[in-house]
Amino acid sequence: MERSEILTEDWLLECWKERDNRRFDGLNTDFIRTYRAKPLHNLNLFFFAATDETEQRHLQTLTLDNGKI
């Protein structure tokens, strides 16, 4: 792993499930990619200045695309 990654809690839980598997590599690039957190993961966002309905929908779409549920 060349750079630091922010991973979800699910990554840790999956690693724990594989704790007895000597061949398991929790730092495998494909495995990491599966559990990489999106930029807005677990954040609460409030848009006060968005008065236009179209702008609000655009901001909502961007928020959902970047990890907010």
Residue 39 — very low, low, confident or very high, per pLDDT cuts 50/70/90? confident
Q: What is residue 56's predicted lDDT score, i.e. its pLDDT?
A: 84
Q: Determine the average pLDDT of the residues in 11-28.
A: 96
Q: What is the pTM of this model?
A: 0.63
DSSP secondary structure letters along the chain:
--S---B-HHHHHHHHHTTT-TT--TT-HHHHHHTBPPTTTT-----SS--SHHHHHHHHHHHHHTT--
51-65 pLDDT, tens digit each: 788 888 888 888 888
